[in-house]
Amino acid sequence: MTSPSPLTVPRDRNRWRPIAAALRSEILSGRYAPGDRLPSSSELRLRHRVSGQTVQHAMNSLRNEGLVETRPGVGWYVRKPPDVVRLLRRPEPGRRVDGSAWLGCGAAQVVTFVRFDVAPALIAAELQIGKGAEIVVRERTMFDGGVVVALASSYFPRSLSRGTVIEAEDTGPGGVFACLLRLGHDIVRHTERVTAGVAQADEARRFGRPDPPVVFRLVRITSGRTAVLGVIHIVVLADRFELCYELPLASR
């Protein structure tokens, strides 16, 4: 038996794409509704004349898109839309807001770890401090139903946080930005950047996903009247969150 030519291998490896595309179309068109069981591996193998590994690759891709879920020993099902919604509100000039309105993401449990570090170049630029300046880092892992749904890293200059509750794991009601307000800092602006992409290997590991999932990345820079107060880098599962903004109409 002759071995496949080098040109055949890449084509075989991509045979999962039409399977994923066909199922995606059927799910999005409503042929398969949320909660419906999808064709079995044997059905898909016969229908598309491919191996079980190829079918599994296609289903893994749809699962990472948030369209499919696996029920061990039962089969594949169309995933029901999640209830978790992230709500972001635009700050109103002169209004003192607490951190819960900004950081509430529907997570039922949050595990926080606080550490001290020196600012790498990117964080130093965002905080507008010197590279290598002291910072406090608040690492948070957010769970919903026992599943990790979001990762967040908050960075603050130690010139601002030293000796305050910002360096404690539990910052009290309203979160860390409520602490800033209680410490007398005025929050005048939040600048946010949102991108989407595939999770990095270490992020996929923290999410407990064997294949890197699609995620939203949000960088929020919070500024006072004269300086940047803090920066947060947030990574959330794209299939568990919805970005929703409220933008007030400009007065005439």
User: What tens digit of pLDDT does each residue of 110-141 get?
Assistant: 889 999 999 998 999 999 998 889 999 999 99
- What are phi and psi for residue 124, nearest 5 degrees? -60, -40
Q: What is the pLDDT of residue 234?
A: 92
- pLDDT of residue 251 exceeding 70, the answer is no
Lowest-pLDDT range of 181-185, 205-209, 247-251: 247-251
Residues 198-205 have a mean pLDDT of 89
**93: pLDDT strictly greater than 80:** no
Query: At which residue do the structure tokens 């699962």 appear?
Result: 63
Top mean pLDDT of 21-30, 45-54, 164-173 is at 45-54
Q: What is the dihedral of CA 163, 168, 161, 122, to 10 degrees?
A: 150
Instruction: Please state, in angstroms and rounded to a whole number, the distance separating the CA atoms of residues 236 and 222.
Output: 19
Q: What is the CATH number of domain 8-78?
A: 1.10.10.10
- Ranges of CATH 1.10.10.10 domains, the chain: 8-78
The H or E element that residue 231 is part of is strand 228-237
Specify the domain boundaries for CATH 3.40.1410.10 within the chain: 86-246
Q: Which CATH architecture has domain 86-246?
A: 3-Layer(aba) Sandwich (3.40)
Report the distance separating Cα 214 and Cα 220, nearest Å: 20
pTM: 0.63
Distance of CA 80 to the CA centre of its chain: 18
Q: What is the mean pLDDT of residues 91-115?
A: 54
Give the confidence band of 252 by pLDDT, cuts at 50, 70, 90: low
